[in-house]
Amino acid sequence: MATDVLETSSPTSQAPSHYSPLRHFYLAVDRLQFKMETLVDLLGMAGHRPRLPMVVCCSTRDELDAVCSAVSNLSYISIASLYSDLAEAERALILEKFRQATMRWNQIASLQSGDDSEIEKEEQKSHLIVISDACLPLLASGESPVAARVLINYELPAKKETYMRRMATCLAADGIVINMVVGGEVVTLKSIEEGSSLVIAEMPINKDEDGKMVFKHIQIFHLYFPLRSKHSLKK
């Protein structure tokens, strides 16, 4: 399948009106060598939301492979990846399974307390797709968006159009975006922000005495995806 060719639809200059401009955040990493460790910690926090559908976007296949290797041991997350030489049938299966996961998430989110006794028996793992820009869902070819609740830009795109395309193909209307930035990438991030209708706020975190980020105190996931004690997973 020729997924190396990017979709040729017209780039979007502003965020679609159905996305909230207040659900975009950036996470500044002091040094490049800490970036992968930070991602694993971040997924460790998000992944304990049972069945939470997530996407991590990379710019290159090398980075995709590195991310998949680093997060493969997270037992509470079901992980899949989309890459250029993936068979078409397998690609379709991965996308369909993820869309089913988002549908289950929607069903659970709409339940009132006490109504989820049957759903409680289902698999508790969160769902993650790691994907490169070359393999994003091809909307012009009839593929549907995957509608993740969390989109993590592990590699910040250089162009606003790529940022918008990641949103259009991977993010649900009520989802959040977390951009991981290192050093001078903050300038690129501000350029994306200024060229769109988005507000990209710094992600609130705490640090320990050594200056290391303490993700168990992050409020974003508690705010948008609160844990329900009946569904919590133990580490």
Question: What is the predicted pLDDT for the residue at 149?
Answer: 93
**pLDDT at residue 208 in the model:** 57
Distance CA 130, CA 111 (A): 29
Could you report the per-residue pLDDT of 16-43, keeping only the tens digit for each?
Answer: 444 454 589 999 888 888 899 999 988 9
The answer, yes or no, to whether residue 12 has pLDDT greater than 50, is: no
**Long-range pairs for 93-99 at CB < 8 Å and ≥24 separation?**
94/129, 95/137, 95/143, 95/144, 95/146, 97/127, 98/53, 98/127, 98/129, 98/146, 98/148, 99/144, 99/146, 99/147
pLDDT in tens, 108-124: 766 644 444 444 444 67
Candidates 2, 107, 132; CA nearest to 55 is 132
Average pLDDT for 199-212 = 69
- For 153-175, write each residue's pLDDT tens digit: 999 999 999 999 999 999 998 89
pLDDT (0 to 100) of residue 58: 96
Lowest-confidence pick of 2-11, 17-26, 77-86, 114-123: 2-11
Q: Cβ–Cβ contacts within 10 Å for residue 174, how many?
A: 14
Mean pLDDT over the full length of the chain: 79
Kindly report the pTM of this predicted structure.
0.80
Residue 219 pLDDT? 59
**What count of other Cβ atoms lies within 10 Å of the Cβ of residue 20?**
14
Region 81-94 average pLDDT: 92
Short-list 103, 99, 52, CA closest to 74: 52
Does 51 score more than 60 pLDDT? yes
CATH topology of domain 24-108+123-228: Rossmann fold (3.40.50)
Contacts of 183 (CB under 8 A, 6+ apart): 32
Neighbours of 224 (CB within 10 A): 15
Q: 183 is written with which tokens?
A: 């050093």
Higher-confidence position of 14 and 47: 47
